Structure 1
Amino acid sequence: MPLYEHVFLARQDLAQTQVDGLAEAATKIIEDNGGKVAKVETWGLRNIAYRIRKNRKAHYVLMDIDAPAPAIAELERQTSINEDVIRYMTLRVDAHEAGPSVMMRKGDRDRERRGDRGDRGDRGDRGPRRERDDVAA
């Protein structure tokens, strides 16, 4: 069966449990039509580049899918009807990415980069601060 990546953006005012419910509904659609979902990643609430239907943020969800084309067509049909989903995209891929996606690894890199800064301390390029009276003299 062909492999697909399906990403959808859910409205910003939904709770995380509702977003998880949308992902479960999509998984059920795929499984009912003879496919299987290999992985579901929730990227969380993120800023979007431009406003979509008055939303400035959206919940991002990625699904790795192994399913026939009619199952994907049904998933896209159901997704386009759902008012909680503001955008979606399905891509056919040659192979699924092993491990976490790039978006999930990016967060790990940011945390690592911030973690090794530590306390910077004094840089040593300035002398001691002078009092106001010393400057006036």
Structure 2
Amino acid sequence: MRFYECTFIIRQDLPAQDVHKLSEKYKGVVEKTGGQVIKKEYWGLRSLAYEIKKNKKGHYIFFGLKATPETITKVENDFKISEDVIKFLTIRVDRIDEKPSLMMQTPSETEK
């Protein structure tokens, strides 16, 4: 199995409760196909750099995954057919860092 970092953006008009349900759904897809979600972070409702599908903001979700390429293909296909996911990016990495990502750290932690 390989390590991946997957970030996806969910449209702005969904309430936070539905966003968390969607992230649990995708976590379930990963686990059902033999993968493992090592790290999960909700980065909040953030402004997009440019408008995507008439959305100016989006809910950002980050997963650190240990999975096979087939699992990643299945998850990305689910992202593509979902009307709620407006953008996603999955990259392969050497390892998943257990510390919070830069998006989750406070400004005092990043200055160290």
1:103 match: secondary structure:
coil
Aligned-pair identity (%): 41
Cα deviations across residues 1-38 of structure 1 (Å, max 9, x unaligned)?
Answer: 10001100000000111111111111111111111101
Bigger Rg, which one: 1
Mapped pair 1:48 → 2:48: yes
1:73 alignment counterpart: 73
Distance 2:98 2:36 in 1: 16
In the alignment, structure 2 segments of 5+ residues that lack a partner are none
TM-score, scaled to structure 1:
0.77
User: Which aligned segments of 4 or more residues in structure 1 are displaced greater than 6 angstroms?
Assistant: none
Bigger relative contact order (CA 8 A; separation at least 6): 2
- Specify the code of the residue in structure 1 equivalent to 2:51: R
Distance 1:96 1:23 in 2: 19
TM-superposed CA distance for 1:44, in Å, is 0.3
Preserved CA contact (<8 Å) 2:39 2:98: no
RMSD: 1.5
TM-superposed CA distance for 1:79, in Å, is 0.8
Aligned length: 110
1:101 match: secondary structure:
coil
TM-score, scaled to structure 2:
0.93
1:109 alignment counterpart: 107
1:94 alignment counterpart: 94
1:24 alignment counterpart: 24
